[in-house]
Amino acid sequence: MHRTKVRVVEDALDANNTIARANRDDFDRHGVGVVNLMSAPGAGKTTLLERALDGLPGDVRAGVLEGDVAGSFDADRLSLLHIPVAQLNTGNGFGGECHLDANMVRTALPSLPLADLDLLVIENVGNLVCPAEFRVGEDARIMVCSVTEGEDKPLKYPLMFRACELVLINKIDLLPHLDADVDRLLANLDAVNPGVARMLVSARTGEGVDAFREWLTAVPARVGAAA
Amino acid sequence: MHRTKVRVVEDALDANNTIARANRDDFDRHGVGVVNLMSAPGAGKTTLLERALDGLPGDVRAGVLEGDVAGSFDADRLSLLHIPVAQLNTGNGFGGECHLDANMVRTALPSLPLADLDLLVIENVGNLVCPAEFRVGEDARIMVCSVTEGEDKPLKYPLMFRACELVLINKIDLLPHLDADVDRLLANLDAVNPGVARMLVSARTGEGVDAFREWLTAVPARVGAAA
């Protein structure tokens, strides 16, 4: 059988990916490395950011885009770090969406001084399903899984655990008080995303946060090298 | 100005509510009280059910409809109680939806022996946003909030906390090891849903589970009284 070569126009009709690419172009133009931080509600994204962004090297100027259904509680907390923080509420004008998409992020970009940033962290809405389905123009996706959520979560929400380049296993300070089995959690993680980078951390005690900060610090350099 | 009386055809175009009403009619016909159990991922819905459904009075025959994106881990656990359990995966045929809707539930109903049940618990997909937007034909909605998620959750996900008739504050056995402030959590709950029924429970130690079991036991009677 003779096969003709078919050129696949990938995602040609996907408006989200088109806008994500436009976001990405803007980020590249300004030399900003961008991470999309995702987790279930209450897994500790904001507390981790408070810890990790405080103490970044002086040449890594960070900003945060906060995604929430309602309120600006996390943005208010992070603004204490004296870095640019913009709040994006999916409840106002976006129908109470349970995730950020590329268009929402694009709407918020004018609120951020991209030219003055090296690293932008986009903190997504707390949700283990839909955020994984929407690229927003990021360079890397990080997810936070708290040990309190149970070791079965990679198997129950495989897309989210597959979609990320780094998995932070948070709240390890609580392990002595839980029945959770971290080895099984990590085995379940490897079952859906074999060998994905992972760090055991405690936003509360600070354990493992230095390694996470180093990872974040390297994002702008990796982006620059790829450009 | 003269006002004409306008008859509002409520939700006339909302297919979900139409199907929810059909589900409800089926539940009523069989005399089944139905609760929709919602929470963030890992808040402890299944463990609470394991505890509460074990030991129900003999005249309350319970069944469970398990909603998950993927897998049947929770259904497998609950089937050990020797009660009818049906699994509904939103990943197969439903596009990986992050919630249950009335049509998904309707699709699953033939898998359950409604005529032999007094109480049906529908365990929703772990998500604090979208499940609250979709009625499935239930008599009552219960949400579980773990103290590990932080006391700000009612303010950040107000629709979910407003949509329910009972809030279970779970994992209280961990309170000595957390910075969480339960009084502030309850104040935040009252800010979005004043006076809503609430119970402090620990699925792990069993604390408070008797009260939850009694609440569940009363659901079929309340439904019968209303019919």
What percent of chain A has a predicted confidence (pLDDT) above 70? 93
Helix residue ranges, H only, chain A: 15-29, 45-53, 73-79, 102-108, 153-156, 158-162, 182-192, 209-226
pLDDT at A224: 72
The closest alpha carbon to A65, from A136, A169, A160, belongs to A136
Quick: pLDDT tens for A49-67.
999 999 999 999 999 999 9
Taking each helix axis as running N to C, give the angle between helix B209-226 and helix B45-53, from 0 to 180 degrees, rounded to the nearest 10. Answer: 80
For chain B, the three-class secondary structure string (H helix, E strand, C coil) is CCCCCCCCCCCCCCHHHHHHHHHHHHHHHCCCEEEEEEECCCCCHHHHHHHHHCCCCCCCCEEEEEEECCCCHHHHHHHCCCCCEEEEECCCCCCCCCCCCHHHHHHHHHHCCHHHCCEEEEECCCCCCHHHHCCCCCCEEEEEEEHHHCCCHHHHCHHHHHCCCEEEEECHHHHHHCCCCHHHHHHHHHHHCCCCEEEECCCCCCCCHHHHHHHHHHHHHHHHHHC
Closest residue of chain B to A130, computed from CA coordinates: B98
pLDDT over 80 at B9, yes or no: no
**What average pLDDT does this structure show over A82-94?**
89
Any bridge partners for residue A166, and if so which? A142, A197
Q: Are B125 and B143 in contact (CB under 8 A)?
A: no
pLDDT number for residue A183: 97
- Is A17 a residue whose pLDDT tops 90? yes
Q: What is the DSSP letter of A80?
A: T
Per mean pLDDT, which range of B11-20, B69-78, B161-170 is the poorest? Answer: B11-20
Side by side, the strands of the sheet bearing A119-123 are A85-89, A62-68, A119-123, A33-39, A140-146, A166-170, A197-200
- Whether residues A128 and B130 touch (CB distance < 8 A) is answered with no
Q: Which residues of B touch A126 (CB under 8 A)?
A: 40, 128, 156-157
Residue position matching structure tokens 């040609």: A12
The mean pLDDT value for A15-41 works out to 96
Rounded Cα distance, A160 and B114, in Å:
35
Answer yes or no: do A157 and B70 touch at CB < 8 A: yes
Given a contact cutoff of 8 angstroms between Cβ atoms, the answer to whether B66 and B193 are in contact is no
Q: Can you give the pLDDT at residue A7?
A: 54
Q: What is the pLDDT of residues B111-150, one digit of tens each?
A: 999 999 999 999 999 999 999 999 999 999 999 999 999 9
Q: Which residue of A has its CA nearest to B89?
A: A156
The alpha carbon of residue B114 is apart from the nearest alpha carbon of chain A, in Å, by: 27
Query: A168 - beta bridge partners?
Result: A144, A199
pLDDT at B10 over 70: no
What is the residue-averaged pLDDT of chain B?
Answer: 92
DSSP state of A172: G
CB pairs under 8 A between A and B: 105
Residue B1 has pLDDT above 70, yes or no: no
Range B127-141 burial, b when 16+ CB lie within 10 A, else e: bbbbbbebbbbbbbb
Length of chain A: 227
Q: Do A69 and B41 touch (CB under 8 A)?
A: no
**Could you give the CA distance from residue A189 to residue A162 in angstroms, rounded to a whole number?**
9
Give the nearest partner residue to A149 out of B42, B73, B133, using CB atoms. Answer: B42
Tell me the residue type at A139: D
pLDDT tens-place string over residues B163-195: 999 999 999 999 999 999 999 999 999 999 999
Q: Is the pLDDT of residue A145 over 50?
A: yes
Please give the residue that has the higher pLDDT: either B4 or A170.
A170
Mean pLDDT across the stretch A178-191?
96
**CA distances (Å), origin B109, targets B82, B104, B106:** 18, 9, 5
What is the rounded average pLDDT for all residues in chain A?
Answer: 92
Which of A125, A130, A156 has its CB closest to that of B70?
A156
What is the SS3 string spanning A108-133? HHHHCCHHHCCEEEEECCCCCCHHHH
Residue A12 has a pLDDT of: 46
* Backbone φ, ψ for residue A122 (5° rounding): -100, 110
Give yes or no for residue B77 having a pLDDT over 80: yes
Q: What is the arithmetic mean of pLDDT over A162-186?
A: 97
Q: Residue B4 has what pLDDT?
A: 54
Tokens of B187: 């104040």
Q: Can you read off the two tokens belonging to residue B7?
A: 């008859």
Please provide the CATH number assigned to the domain covering B2-222.
Answer: 3.40.50.300
**Chain B contact set for A173 (CB, 8 A):** 177
**Three-state DSSP state, A73:** helix
Residue A13: what pLDDT?
53
Measured in angstroms, the CA of A98 and the nearest CA of chain B are apart by 6
Of A42, A71, A127, the CB nearest to B127: A127
pLDDT recorded at residue A92: 72
